[in-house]
Amino acid sequence: MEHVLSVQQFANKALLDKLFASAAKMQALDPTKYPKILKHLTLATVFYEPSTRTRLSFETAIQNLGGQLITTENAAQFSSAIKGETLEDTIKVINAYADGIVLRHPETGAAKRAAAVSGVPIINAGDGIGEHPTQGLLDTYTVQRAKVKIDGLKIGFAGDLLYGRTLHSALQLLALYDVEFYFLSPQSLGLPEKYLKELDKRDVTYRILHDWGKALTEVDVLYMTRVQKERFKSAGDYQEVKDDFILTPTLVKKMKKDAIILHPLPRVNEIPPEIDDDPRAQYFQQVRNGLFLRMALLESIYR
């Protein structure tokens, strides 16, 4: 696998099983036993948008596997992009220094543009409202570890389904299994039509709801998202919907005892901190799982 640009590259359950088995093996290892497959290699993390989990987990994964790291966490301001340099030229320059590039960019399709001119692997760490393939992979891995079997699950996605690139990636992978989806969002933040059409082609069962209804009593997995203020054209539009799907402790009590709650983070107010101690809250374990999934992914690229 030369580049990681889209979850469509992983649209095969056998491939996912192999990757998840590798991640689980990494997770079980003593840190002193991590394979140094990146020894003598240098990777660059180039982020044009803010990030905590994705950037730091990739940087930790690179170092755990013996690699060297060069990084910029605000490339939009602290690279030659501010002087007008194109993304393509920036990627060509970084090719002179690095054996791989982890890229986050605010424009949908930026990762593919970068890959078109790069002689080293490009890993898409999020491009605009498009995709976030490694988040989708770690989300699916988290569901598998928590529930063992994905087939037969009822999975709810709640909040901002329009702009949420993380869930756009996750649902495409989870749709490979025999699952049922619940899409819970304000009407103005519904899932883009192209994803619904794809689910229809695959004969995936789904329900579209604009309130909680009975969904909380039925889902095995609830994937919460924040309403992304930075994606709205006006503050008024954001204020109108930002509080429509808040998961309160009272609502959590309605959920199955063995259900799990996921969130790609960061959160704003959609999951209050008092829920964190509930055993169903798996979002910080989700963060931890991401480290090992990304280590396994790097291994699959560079072994």
Report the candidate in 128, 121, 117, 71 with the shortest Cα–Cα distance to residue 91: 117
pLDDT at 236: 76
54 tagged catalytic: yes
Residue 2 lies in a domain: no
Same-domain check for residues 164 and 179? yes
Same-domain check for residues 109 and 154? no
Same-domain check for residues 97 and 175? no
Q: Residues 53, 210, 256, 267: which is the catalytic one?
A: 53
pLDDT at 82: 62
Residue 32 lies in a domain: yes
Domain, as residue range, for 32: 7-131+288-302
pLDDT at 83: 63
Same-domain check for residues 102 and 141? no
Contact 104/46 with Cβ under 8 angstroms? yes
Same-domain check for residues 176 and 137? yes
Q: Residues 3, 72, 90, 104: which is the catalytic one?
A: 104
Q: Residues 3, 105, 113, 132: which is the catalytic one?
A: 132
Q: Residues 32, 33, 40, 83: which is the catalytic one?
A: 83
Give the relative orientation of helices 53-64 and 133-147 as an angle to the nearest 10 degrees. 80
104 tagged catalytic: yes
Query: What residue type is 69 in one-letter code?
Result: L
Residues 6+ apart with CB under 8 A from 232: 238
- Strands (E) across 88-245 are located at 101-105, 122-127, 154-158, 180-184, 205-209, 221-224
pLDDT at 137: 97
231 tagged catalytic: no
Rounded-to-integer distance, Cα 179 and Cα 197, Å: 16
Q: Tell me, what CATH number does 137's domain have?
A: 3.40.50.1370
| pLDDT, tens digit only, all 303 positions of the chain | 689 999 999 989 999 999 999 999 999 999 999 999 999 999 999 999 888 899 999 999 999 999 999 998 766 665 666 667 899 999 999 999 999 999 999 899 999 999 999 999 999 999 988 889 999 999 999 999 999 999 999 999 999 999 888 899 999 999 999 999 999 998 888 999 999 999 999 999 999 999 998 999 999 999 999 876 666 666 776 666 777 789 999 999 999 999 999 999 999 899 999 999 999 999 999 999 999 999 999 999 998
pLDDT at 226: 86
83 tagged catalytic: yes
Rounded-to-integer distance, Cα 219 and Cα 84, Å: 48
Same-domain check for residues 152 and 233? yes
53 tagged catalytic: yes
Same-domain check for residues 236 and 144? yes
pLDDT at 72: 84
C-alpha torsion sign, points 134, 136, 139, 141: negative
Same-domain check for residues 151 and 53? no
Same-domain check for residues 234 and 266? yes
Same-domain check for residues 251 and 228? yes
Same-domain check for residues 137 and 160? yes
Contact 149/176 with Cβ under 8 angstroms? no
Same-domain check for residues 270 and 149? yes
Q: How many domains does the chain have?
A: 2
| Model pTM score | 0.92
3-state secondary structure of 140: helix
